[in-house]
Amino acid sequence: MTNIKFASAALILALATGAAFAAGMEEKAQAPATGFEQMDTNHDGLISKEEGALREDVATLWEAADANKDGSLDAAEFSAFETTEPAQQ
């Protein structure tokens, strides 16, 4: 009888620890590396405004990031945006 109780307690503890561990892992993955490839979801080599909306900073500073005002970000514009880290005005 007590053996069964102990076994279930151990199982519950193991599950709880596993869940806590998984939750911790998920929290670490919260800041995803969203690079050009990840944002260019249709892989046409450009980030459209819709694709740019995936990232809040890109969406917010879209006008500044789209340097040539053609309505999309190419790799050069995106990397310039990434390296400039423009200060919020």
Residues engaged in binding Ca ion (CB under 5 A): 40, 42, 44, 46, 66, 68, 70, 77
Taking the complex as a whole, the smallest distance from the CB of residue 89 to Ca ion amounts, in Å, to 20
| Distance separating alpha carbons of residues 58 and 60, to the nearest angstrom | 5
Nearer to Ca ion, 14 or 75 (CB): 75
Q: Which is nearer to Ca ion, 60 or 68 (CB)?
A: 68
Q: Please, what is the minimum distance in Å from the beta carbon of residue 55 to Ca ion?
A: 13
